[in-house]
Structure formats: C-alpha cells, structure tokens
Amino acid sequence: MKDINIDLNDLDINAIGSWPVPVKAGVIVIICVLVLVLGYFLDIKGQQQNLSAAEARELQLKQDFESKWKKAANLDAYKLQMKEMEQSFGTMLRQLPSKTEIDDLLVDISQTGLASGIDFKLFKPGKEIQKDFYAEFPIEMEMTGNYHRFGRFVSGIAALPRIVTLHNISIEKKDADGDDKKNMTMRVIAKTYRYLDENEIAQIRAAKNKKRKGRRR
C-alpha cells in the first residue's frame, strides 16, 4: 500500500476542491462531529432538561391528585368528625358561665366549701383576664380543715356543672395542739371561665390589630 504524505501547510483553504480525498474525508468527519456536539448542547441537552422538569412536574401532580383523592374519599368522615367537634365544643361552651352567672358560681364554690366542712379564711375574687374567646376569672382562697374535708371540697368542685380548675395548691399542717378537724391550712387559686360575647371578641381583635399596626410604624 502506497504511503500518502501530506503537508498541511501546502493546503490552500481557498482551493478545498483540490485537496486530497483523505484530507477532505477527515474534514467532513470533523465537521460532522462538531455539528453533533453543538446539536447536543444547543438542542438535545435543553430537551433533556425540559423532560426532567416535566417528569418532576408529573410526579408532583400525581402526588397532589392522590392527596386530593384521599381527602375526597374521606369527605363524609371529615364532615362527621367536624360535626362531632362542633357538638363537643358546644357542650364545653355551655359549661362556661356568662357574665351574669359568675356571681352565682362564686356562691356555688363557697357553698361547696362550707358543705365540705372547711372554714374559709380568705375568699378573694381577682381581676378578670380576657383571652381570645373566653375570660379567666381567678379566685384566691385560704381555708382550714383536714385531708378528708379538703378531698370532699375538691370532689365537690369537680362535680359542679361549670368548669372550675384548681391551681397552686399548697397544704400546711398547723400545730398539733389544734383542732383535728381544722389542723391544716390549704391555699389554692381556683379559676373559672366565661365565654365572651361577639362585641367583646370584636373589641379584643380590634385592639390586637391596632397594636400590630403600631409596631410596624
């Protein structure tokens, strides 16, 4: 086979037609490779990225569909659960006294203590504290008795038709020479609650909004 020696310096770019066939074939191959590489980076790579984005979007849509389908399938159960929650909330709300019933509830707490055989040394209603939709009404109490009488008092409070909670309970024993029926002192803060009417709730929300606006300035 005859060897072909080609000096690239002898090739004239303006006379490509006169170039040797091997050189022209090599140039064509190089051009084809460059076209393929440029085509990949300019078109195919972009299409692959678009395809990956479309696949991710499809996966997200499938997940959203499954989530919404499960919610739709359980819609009746959710409605039933909401109805039960509304009934439960209504029952709890009815256990909160209105503003006009607070005085009666204070009497009930006092009578519960007397019926339990304890003596009140302090019975001091505090200042009402308003929350989002209810108000908290604390009562500071100090009483004398023994464990059994204190137990009857706590049970009597729990049996009241209205919600009353006991906090910060402390019990101290008096001198041994004292009356066995009143040989202990219990200090406790009872808290009862009342629901706020629509006007009170609106006032609280207005005050909070005004406070937020003041902070932004």
Tell me what pLDDT residue 12 has: 55
Look at 210 and 124; give whichever has higher pLDDT. Answer: 124
Distances in Å between the Cα of 93 and the Cα atoms of 22, 70, 108, 167 are 96, 32, 19, 21
Integer CA distances (angstroms), 50 to 53, 64, 89, in order = 5, 21, 51
Q: Does position 2 have pLDDT exceeding 50, yes or no?
A: no
Mean pLDDT across 7-12:
53
70: pLDDT strictly greater than 80: no
- Tens-place pLDDT, residues 186-215: 999 999 887 777 777 777 777 777 777 766
User: What is the pLDDT at residue 119?
Assistant: 92
The Cα 30–Cα 7 span in angstroms is: 18
pLDDT at 4 over 80: no
Q: How confident is the model at residue 143 (pLDDT cuts 50, 70, 90)?
A: very high
- 217 or 169: which leads in pLDDT: 169
Enter the tokens of residue 127: 């200042």
Are the C-beta atoms of residues 193 and 96 closer than 8 Å to each other? yes
Q: Taking 60 as the threshold, does the pLDDT of residue 60 lie above it?
A: yes
pTM of this structure: 0.51
